[in-house]
């Protein structure tokens, strides 16, 4: 069974700062990794797929990198609307446990 481990569990930052979120996968998934943002009461919103391709309508302050087992989501300059919970997903199936991005 593939396990995705996200770190940190919680990230406290201020608007304008850079956020770096990590997703480590227990076995290689090549570049088949997606990132989602979720806010309370909403379905997850796709941000990144194929490890580094931005989904339609996603601002370019969001970027993804990595391949194999180690992946990173970077938000270059945080906007107030970026706070929420972020999840990674491999191969359209298993999810990580999430990183909560909160306002400092």
Partner 1 sequence: QLQLQESGPGLVKPSETLSLTCTVSGGSINRYTYYWGWIRQPPGKGPEWIGSVRHSGSYYNPSLQSRVTISIDTSKNQFSLKLTSVTAADTAVYYCATIVGASRVDHWGQGILLTVSS
Kindly tell me which residue out of 15, 50, 59, 68 binds partner 1, with binding defined by CB under 8 A: 50
Report how far Cα 68 is from the mean position of its chain's Cα atoms.
Answer: 16
Residue 53, beta-bridge partner list: 49
**If binding is defined by CB under 8 A, does position 9 make contact with partner 1?**
no
Closest CA to 72 of 20, 19, 8: 20
**If binding is defined by CB under 8 A, does position 46 make contact with partner 1?**
yes
For partner 1, the closer of residues 57 and 92 by Cβ is: 92
**If binding is defined by CB under 8 A, does position 93 make contact with partner 1?**
yes
Kindly tell me which residue out of 62, 71, 83, 87 binds partner 1, with binding defined by CB under 8 A: 87
CB-CB neighbours of 67 under 10 Å: 15
């Amino acid at each position: 069974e593939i396990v995705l481990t996200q770190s940190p569990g919680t990230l406290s930052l201020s608007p304008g700062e850079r956020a770096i979120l990590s997703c480590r996968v227990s076995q290689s998934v090549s570049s088949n990794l997606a990132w989602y943002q979720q806010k309370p009461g909403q379905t997850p919103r796709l941000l990144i797929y194929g490890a580094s391709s931005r989904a339609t309508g996603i601002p370019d302050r969001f970027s993804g990198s990595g391949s194999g087992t180690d992946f990173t989501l970077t938000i270059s300059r945080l906007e107030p609307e970026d706070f929420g919970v972020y999840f990674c997903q491999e191969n359209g199936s298993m999810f990580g446990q999430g990183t909560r991005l909160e306002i400092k």
